[in-house]
Structure 1
């Protein structure tokens, strides 16, 4: 495993982050394919054995049970001082007023609930899960600053927003002497490269860590075109994001399949290796429901692609509608 600094900080993170959205009690959320605690256990254990120290979850995943399972298993198998835990706030975990968003009330309430579920005194990285159009960004950034100053989060980051929004948030923080975002978790993979236009250049210029979500496009970059697994059959979010661009995406997947066959490695390794070649990507968030998914992700860290292979993978891409801001 390789370790790098997260953005312009001194924090060491593995080049693969384990996405813990796959862990939880399925009937408590939107993910019927989620693994319960006993089936999650070998995933966490294998990730740690292979050197992954970066774990990503959110308050909303499986009604909070992802945080509960992740927290219990990491406490059992890991040294808290060596691992990096990230969680998120925005989506409502319950029904009713003040149940979601990025108001001061919501942030202060949800960070305490997240810490209780995780069984820890602090998270290393606390993301805003989406942009809140109904709360002034000044209110959000001051609340997040107070969370950091209270010792409940070490760093803060943003997820899935426009570049102007990310820049505005950090400008507001800098102007007021508040804590700034040091990481961006955005939607970026071989099938969706619109982040290369504005967000990635901004993050590179400002030394922001980039932690892409859905690096395998909800599994579309892990298997030949047309094949499905149990998750893809019921994954409404993945279908909503990628169905509209299926014709052009197919050409990318076919190129990926060809290169993987020539290399004699799984397609997922090639897709992740491509992502790890892109600046300023720090660590893609890789979800897993099988041990092999973790092993392939870690193997991708040492897989070097040739310029010719990268060109072949990128050439079929066509501009896509901007996606992910509302998912």
Structure 2
């Protein structure tokens, strides 16, 4: 397992991040703890959870698993979605953040959170309220670093500018959806993150299972891809372009002696700007497959073929700007 610095910080994280969204739901507590311990044995140190995953049960399991080994782990969690049935039970207001961080600390059985992330933008709360609250949490020692997730480029840039102007702590990372079959952030967010040194820790790096190669062209009846709507729906994933990408992934896997999941994850690990893809597993078998993406290098020609076939088509104004790009 190799390590990278997360964004504009000195925080070293493993090249893979273990996601825990299924822990306590489709993954039993026993298997969840086993995955965390196995991940750490392989050198993994980056764990990601959220206060809403299985109504807090995921955080509880993570807390139990790392008890006595807290300093070895970079622990990330998130706040934003509803955790209580009242008007202030959601959002990134000072009240909800303060309530949320205390609840997460109790469930995680820890005194501090390494990376505290805003799960999605909140149009109702002024940005100065959110960032001042986060700055206070870092000053208090309850949070070490802050990040965001599911932001638009202007939302991230506005947050960074406000933090810099007021000398508040700034977001060191963003957690977006990103994979060979979901490269929307290439339009603006990627260049912003590279310019501002914001680490990228993608979720759904396997396209909700599409890139594992376990699915054909018939709509699945179970699993995340069986959803009728949303990001993980079959209608959203089963495009002709995505099937062409999957064919190339399978071809690369055969050539390299790897599995499709390992190839798809490895492409991301070697993508400039990507710090640590977040992989999740419902079973120990899936975990063992995914962890095999670490510790090797994909040849440049194979990486480039995958990059080319999955790239977004040129769009305005990017194609116009690129036409007049000045040589340096």
The TM-score, its normalising length taken from structure 2, stands at 0.89
**1:201 shift after superposition:** 1.3
Unaligned runs of 5+ in 1: 27-33, 321-327
Change in 2 beyond 3 A, CA 1:131/1:67? same
Contact 1:224/1:254 (8 A) holds in 2: no
Residues 1:288 and 2:298 aligned together = no
Detail structure 1 runs of 4+ shifted over 6 Å in the superposition.
none
**1:197 shift after superposition:** 2.2
Aligned to 1:8: 8
- Mapped to 1, the partners of 2:270 and 2:206 lie a distance apart of 15
SS in 1 for 2:310: coil
Change in 2 beyond 3 A, CA 1:241/1:160? farther
**1:127 shift after superposition:** 0.3
**1:52 shift after superposition:** 0.8
**1:240 shift after superposition:** 3.4
Aligned to 1:324: none
Unaligned runs of 5+ in 2: 314-328
Counterpart mapping for 1:122-271 below 5 A: 122-226=112-216, 230-232=222-224, 235=227, 237-240=230-233, 243=236, 246-271=239-264
SS in 1 for 2:77: strand
SS in 2 for 1:134: coil
- Mapped to 2, the partners of 1:66 and 1:233 lie a distance apart of 22
What do the CA deviations read for 1:174-221 (whole angstroms, capped 9, x no partner)?
111211101111111000112122111111112111111111111111
**1:6 shift after superposition:** 1.2
Q: What is the aligned-residue RMSD (CA, Å)? A: 2.0
SS in 1 for 2:258: coil
The TM-score, its normalising length taken from structure 1, stands at 0.89
The structure number with the bigger radius of gyration is 2
Residues 1:63 and 2:55 aligned together = yes
**1:246 shift after superposition:** 2.1
Aligned to 2:41: 49
Aligned to 2:321: none
- Mapped to 2, the partners of 1:100 and 1:60 lie a distance apart of 11
**1:159 shift after superposition:** 0.6
Change in 2 beyond 3 A, CA 1:6/1:318? closer
Q: How many residues align?
A: 310
